[in-house]
Structure 1
Amino acid sequence: MTVKSNGFEVVFGRPAKVLAEAPGRVNLIGEHTDYNGGYVLPTAIPQKTRVEIAPREDRLIQVATANVDGGALLSFRAGEEARRGLWLDYVQGITAVLRGRGASIPGFDARIESTVPLGSGLSSSASLLVALARALRSMLGLSIDDVEIARIAHAAEHDFVGAPVGTMDQMAASLADESTALFIDTRTLAFERIPLPAEAELLVVDSGVAHQHASGDYKTRRAECKQAAAALGVPELRDVDATRASIEPRIASLPAPLDRRARHVVTENARVLAAVAALRAGDLARLGELFDASHRSMRDDFEVSVPAVDELVESARAQPDVFGARLTGGGFGGAIVALVKRGRAASVGRAVVEAYARTPGRRATVLVGGPVP
């Protein structure tokens, strides 16, 4: 989608004062570990959310978006935020959190346009939240760093919107770039940028099956993880050491499905650490094996994949130039990510999309399929 430079002026009849952007993200590995205090490994994608903004002299906040509701203009008053169950809640969430942290929020006009696909597991919501927080930081001269931007965005989505997400998406939208993987300890928010391998490129394919973080299934998985941690006597599943020989029998003794949920999180944390080691060593075969193992765990133990996504993963894995492939994002639809031999992502993407389309009613879209910069 082309972002029109005059979009704000068309809507509001005056130029914008501030422009801010934030990328979507694809998670290479480390799914459903972030709200368990664990490790994640996302990277930024080329698609971004753009926010244009200008202050007003009253308390009215007006927001337009080109992506939903036909560009409808919605509004609320600063200090009177109330959840409505609409996309506007993400805007209200940011202003409410900033006010709660002592910022004086005036009225403003804002226009949002995004190329991050909605419901694809690529963090369109975090991209919006971070872009808006950046715009307000600039407009108001707020002294907050990029980690704090991520914290504010997470509080807006988790506490105001009511989506039980972890911190990975907001950290990635605020800190990730396209040339490195962002290794994050979600408990401490410590992070490290690790260069992506020059010998490979990423392929991201959207299944066309949309998901929602605020859906009941996602909330159920989070509750199950909390129950499993309590049963194992630890604060979070992050605290279970996968290398201890005694842990597998303890996990296996949990009632179903808590045993499977715990096993996924514990082994997924271990896979993230192994993936970081593989990246540092340039071991693409090992990294691909970890992708494949992660998908099996998400499919069988965490049960967040769906047949359409499984079909895409298997189709990608069948290609000789693919090291590994997996569901990325929260699941119940969304996209897959594959690690592909450099120079082959475009051809692999075409083959995967064509094979997927042979099933009536299915249409996949290649979202990322060129060389990693």
Structure 2
Amino acid sequence: MDKKLIKEVKASFENQFKTKPLIVFSPGRINLIGEHTDYNDGFAFPAAIDKGIVVAISKSDSEKSSVYAFNKKEAYEFDTKTVEQLTDGAWRNYILGVISEVQKLGKQVPNFYAVFAGNIPGGAGMSSSAALENGFVFGLNELFDLGLSKNEMILISQKAEHNFVGVKCGIMDQYASMFGVKNSALFLDCRTVESKPYKIDFKSYKLMLINSNVKHDLSESAYNDRREVCEKVSNLLQVKALRDASKEDLNRIKEQISKEEYQKALFIINENLRVQQFSENIQKEDLASLGDLLYQSHEGLSKNYNVSCPELDFLVDSTKENPHILGARMMGGGFGGCTINLILESEYKTFKEEISKKFKEKFNKDCSVYSVTLSHGTQLV
């Protein structure tokens, strides 16, 4: 949690609104393995991180709500009684969507003041959107005593993204951000929406995130298209979701679907198996096997699910000859963002310099390298 960021948001709020706010920290997330499995009722292995969104919020003493995006230096005024989706709403639609979904539950949301800021790199696949949604629904719940449970709050955040942003996301991002456990990753069952925290000891290794700085927009058709393929195959198999299918099941309908649809469904089936193997290998403290599963996951995301890009493939391929890196893969929805790497801590600095130079030479632009700590979920500060 960034104390400087909290201080800046609080000062900005008090300067503008002349009152003391509630402060909420809502973290971003990484996902160790299990990509695109959440909307297939499958398994994933996310964790909240120490980068996130800080929201300062209080009741309004006027007929309007006012929200100030500190990083963007943009303000927005509206009345919570007349909340509508904006055509080009950007960050505003995440907040308006949350208010709308709370109101659909029959809860009153009076007007409020808020300032928010974050230190999650945009488009990096660390779910700044889920952190923003969770930060606001958590803050509104505290401020107006709405009586919402954390499970209700994450569903509100998810529906806000579906209905106001246009991304038919699964529940993993919102869940990990809300329920994160310090120094642990969550073995998440996306059907039951329940998880088991696994305290992870990486021993002499640590996680490195490398941001390709290629920006992806999941509201573009590619994400929703893949969801449609998964639903089509599930319907043909007469199962609730691909979580319930095996490779043998898929082969039975191979002639009824295209090669591309077959490959995408096969990726989901295999990825679900990898997540379960990952949990077993954590318990055995078998770090080499964890690394191998990361590479397998990337291969499937790149070649079968087709959500990678040249920059991400280059970053992963560049680790394969390095004996100090156990595994790497792209992380997040795809089409840009970060890779997650399991690297020997003593070699972190050397590889950071090496990959930064190689990436610049290859693509004539910079990548960014981060280390993260596994964090608690959304909370009052």
TM over 0.5: yes
Contact 1:59–1:78 (CA under 8 A) maintained in structure 2:
no
Aligned residue in 1 for 2:242: 237
Would you say 1:42 and 2:46 are equivalent positions? yes
2:341 corresponds, among 335, 338, 345, to 338
Q: 1:135 to 1:369 in 2, by over 3 A?
A: closer
Indicate the residue corresponding to 1:313 in structure 2: 316
Equivalent residue, structure 1, for 2:169: 165
Aligned to 1:185: 189
Which of structure 1's runs of 4+ aligned residues deviate more than 4 A?
A: 369-373
- Distance (whole Å) between structure 1 residues aligned to residue 262 and residue 32 of structure 2: 24
Residues 30 and 272 of structure 1 are in contact (CA less than 8 Å); yes or no, is this contact kept in structure 2?
yes
Change in 2 beyond 3 A, CA 1:21/1:369: closer
Of the structure 1 ranges 56-65 and 296-305, higher mean CA displacement relative to structure 2 is found in: 56-65
Question: Which residue of 2 is the match for residue 210 of structure 1?
Answer: 215
Structure 1 residues 138-157: aligned runs within 5 Å:
138-157=142-161
SS at match of 2:67: strand
Please tell me whether the aligned partners of residues 343 and 371 of structure 1 are also in contact (alpha carbons under 8 angstroms).
no
Give the 3 Å change call, closer, same or farther, for CA 234–214 of structure 1 in structure 2.
same
Conserved 8 A contact 2:181-2:375: no
Specify the alignment match of 1:326 in structure 2: 329
Q: 1:161 to 1:343 in 2, by over 3 A?
A: same
Equivalent position to 2:282, from 273, 279, 284: 279
Aligned residue pairs: how many? 367
Aligned to 1:223: 228
3-state secondary structure, aligned to 1:79:
helix
Residue pairs, 1:48-197, within 5 angstroms = 48-68=52-72, 71-84=73-86, 85-86=88-89, 87-197=91-201
Quick check: 76-85 or 87-96, which moved more?
76-85
Q: Which AA in structure 2 matches 1:279? A: I
Hey, which of these two has a bigger chunk of helix by percent? 2
1-side partners of 2:329 and 2:253: how far apart? Answer: 24
Q: CA deviation at 1:67?
A: 2.5
Structure 1 pair 62/196, CA: closer, same or farther in 2 (3 Å)?
same
Output the CA distance in 1 between the equivalents of 2:252 and 2:338.
33
How far apart, in 2, do the equivalents of 1:151 and 1:344 lie? 41
Q: 1:75 to 1:282 in 2, by over 3 A?
A: same
Distance 2:202 2:333 in 1: 28
Q: CA RMSD in A?
A: 1.9
Native 8 Å contact 1:251 1:262 kept in 2: no
Deviation at 1:118, TM superposition (A): 1.2
Q: Does 1:349 align with 2:340?
A: no
1:59 and 1:29 map into 2 onto residues whose CA distance is: 46
CA spacing shift, 1:213–1:371, aligned 2, 3 Å: closer
1:168-224: CA deviation from partner (whole Å, max 9, x where unpaired) = 000011011351111111111011100112413111111000111211111111111
Q: Structure 1 pair 345/148, CA: closer, same or farther in 2 (3 Å)?
A: farther
AA paired with 1:217? A
Gaps of 5+ in 1: none
Shift of 1:142: 2.7
Q: When the two structures are superposed, what TM-score results if normalisation uses the length of structure 1?
A: 0.93
Unaligned runs of 5+ in 2: 377-381
Once the two structures are overlaid, the 10-residue window that deviates more, 306-315 or 73-82, is: 73-82
Cα distance 1:179–1:102, how it changes in 2: closer, same or farther (>3 A)?
same
For 2:230, give the aligned amino acid.
C
Cα distance change, pair 316–298 in 1 and its aligned pair in 2 (3 A): same
Partner amino acid, structure 1, of 2:85: R
Q: Tell me the distance in 2 between the aligned counterparts of 1:251 and 1:370.
A: 44
1:291 aligns with 2:294: yes
C-alpha distance in 2 between matches for 1:372 and 1:313 = 25
Offset at 1:267? Answer: 0.3
More displaced 10-residue stretch of structure 1: 301-310 or 218-227: 218-227
Alignment partner of 1:265 out of 247, 265, 268: 268
Which of 25, 32, 36 is residue 28 of structure 1 equivalent to? 32
1:370–1:47 Cα change, 3 Å: closer
Q: TM-score, normalised by structure 2?
A: 0.91
Q: How far 1:64 moved relative to its partner?
A: 0.8
Residue by residue over 1:22-78, the C-alpha shift from the partner in whole angstroms, topping out at 9 and shown as x without a partner, is: 11111110001101111110112221100001111344211111233xx12112211
Shift of 1:354: 2.2
Q: Which moved more, 1:323-332 or 1:355-364?
A: 355-364
Q: Quickly say closer, same or farther: Cα 1:319–1:66, change in 2 above 3 A.
A: farther
Match of 2:11 among 6, 15, 22: 6
